[in-house]
Amino acid sequence: MKKYIFVFILTLFFVTSPVNAAIYKGHKVFTRVCTKCHQTGQYFIAKKTIYQWKKLMKKKGLPLSKLHLKKSKAKKSWKYFKSKKYKKKTKHLKQFLVEYAKDSGNVPACN
């Protein structure tokens, strides 16, 4: 019986541990960094589907950073995308972008 309880607790731990990203933290990152160059959240985020945002945010946001580093228009953000801060915050940003994607049915708040 103790083995079953241990396995249950261990499974619960591994299932819930990746869910530590917070939408509100992603919103904070988006408003501080992304809105300098992009439109407000409602319009910019809704351009892509959940699948597209997940694809751009895989491997700690590497595809998204490469996309920005290729474009000269995004020169203001190059320092941020090369920083450790970006890699640290990608899980929150991903959660925010996926939550309010085109096909999610959710609309971000105005503030």
- Alpha-carbon span 111 to 67, nearest angstrom: 27
Q: What is the pTM of this model?
A: 0.73
- Alpha-carbon span 25 to 46, nearest angstrom: 19
Tokens of 80: 């941020």
Helix axes 84-99, 23-33, angle to 10 degrees: 110
Distance of CA 84 to the CA centre of its chain: 15
- Alpha-carbon span 97 to 109, nearest angstrom: 13
pLDDT tens-digit profile of 9-33? 766 665 554 457 788 898 888 888 8
pLDDT tens-digit profile of 64-78? 999 989 988 888 888
- 49 pLDDT above the threshold of 50: yes
Per-domain residue ranges for the chain? 21-99
